[in-house]
Structure 1
Amino acid sequence: MSKLFEPIKIGSISISSRIAMAPLTRNRSPGAIPNMLNVEYYRQRASAGLIITEATAISHQGQGYAHVPGLYSTDAIKGWKEVTDAVHKAGGKIVTQLWHVGRISHTSLQPDGGKPVAPSPIAAKSKTYIINPDGTGTFIDTSEPRALELSEIPSLIEDYWKAARAAMDAGFDGVEIHAANGYLLEQFLRPNSNQRTDSYGGSIENRIRLTLEVVEAVVQEIGGERTGIRLSPVTPANDVEVVDPQPLYTALIERLAAFDLAYIHVIEGATGGPRDNAPFDWESWKAAYRAKGGKAAWMVNNGYDRDMAIDAVESGRADIVAFGKPFISNPDLVRRLRDNAELNPLEQATLYGGGAEGYTTYSALD
């Protein structure tokens, strides 16, 4: 049997296989509060070596899509506790992804109808998801953001460590800091979305500053052994340009080596798209991290199938492989991959919003 199906310890988290369930936004938590439908969804997928929850807002300001969960209210923490209890009872391990969308939001989703925040007041050519008056969901253009004031940065960082503490209170095994896919932290990293002239803009050192400060705050609060981070060096998702990413992300990964993280979660290529959309030397990037003493487990993601995943782990190129959409339609994906069984097809029409259909109704093998 391939190493893909063998257990591994990442930080303080012992997982049953090297197969992770990637974060998957499903828009089924009205009021930003996890509910019993969410409990069943995650319980069904507890056989994953590690579940990484859907992206979860660290604050109301960090919210960017309707009916996605948060970690900033007592009711949300209680709701997540129901989820983690169910997953643990079923023998699984689960971490939550800490999310601030930055400019990928809409005024109707923001506190008091205010503008979304971003490194700079530059609107993204992107869409977000809202609920219409008739209850149906629709994708609309994001709203124009305002630039974060320098004086607001400390409270933003505080929101991250508070959310990490809330995750521990909710029973999670750890957290993943979302610094990918064109959301707030990556907006600070990329030059087309970050036109600041203060200590958070301009040079590579300045643009990686916020991500490193967030990681430091979270690690100080809950420990590096319970903390992962997601990065997407060449994704164009949510209108972030890919401009000379190698030196930027090498500088970032070398600095991350100091934090003793549980894992680094890497999106290879364009998120949900081609793996070769832009040149990037993945091997030298990982080597730069290891050369600085970085020991975190290396998790890869984007378009992996069974053979690719087995090869990645057997070759030592990766320690863990994260699967996204296959876990939606195959709650027992680990077993199906192990047995090389046929996979259920995905129902595209039920991906976002709605109820149980296309969420908890996919069958498992007998």
Structure 2
Amino acid sequence: MVVVAVADVVAGPGVGFLPLVSLGPAFAGLVGGWRRTASIGVAALLLCVGLGLYDGLFEERRGFTAMASVAGVTGAGVVAAVMRSRREAELASVRSIAEVAQRVLLRPVPRSAGRLQAAVSYTSAVAAARIGGDLYEVVASPHGIRVIVGDVQGKGLAAVETAAVVLGAFREAAHDEPDLVGLGERLERSVARELEGERFVTAVLAEFGSEREVVFLNHGHPAPMVVRAEGGVDFLQPPSYALPLGLGVHGVEGPKPYRVDFAPGDQLLLYTDGVTEARDPQGSFYPLGDRAGLLKEPDAQRALETLRADLVRHAAGPLHDDAAMLLLRYHGHATGQCSPVE
């Protein structure tokens, strides 16, 4: 409005920039509240009167037409500002509810679980979303520390719904089932009962008992990575591959549990395929094994965030799939004085 007024005064009465004053309340209606829009509209009308008198436009209809234009645009801007404010309030309410639902579904993993310390990183492929089709949980049960990391087929709300089914079944069964095979069978029944069609979930289950070892049950999921205390990296492949949860058919043998040594100083990384299948602009996959050295940070969460930042840099943009990572260590990893076996 100031620019229009200056231009009108400099150009003189014969040019007629007066109708452009209505741009003030028009833009105000796009970005401000209705009170601000109305006040700018009043200012625009006063400016319109001043410029109209300066230009001598009220001796003809042009001055009154310009004032009517400013008044009309101001009224429309006020209505638009009111409607936008209501939509923003509704969106804020929906986001608040969604954030609560997200915290319930993927609640924060405890930083300490028995002899272990844990850290988690989750990157959703859906813009502005905090959860998607990947899932994780750590449960301290009477049978040991039990962990799940999984990947639901598909994306969006349907994948979130499936993740909720799996996590709900795992949180209950982790306390009830005495062995990992029974826990896997319980999850299979729950998923088969709730899911329809050919939807499925890849998942890896892990159990940390009283010995310095970890037991795995792999339902078609990428092999966990263990970083040894001396710096070696192993991908813990199962003895035989099994179908994902939800595709189990009567009479088909399920996955076999397998045990792996997990000593103080070792680190275990469970992840989803959104990590290893992230591509750089040249189409190369993320070399997770080569990046294991990034986990040397004493604090587990900072170490995992360093790895996540490297993953995002490798992709050079938004990830095309959800990427979840769960890092597990013994307490005292940073000092080398790990807690004794309980």
Give TM-score scaled by structure 1 length.
0.27
More helix by share: 2
Q: Which has the higher contact order (CA 8 A, sep 6+)?
A: 1
Give TM-score scaled by structure 2 length.
0.28
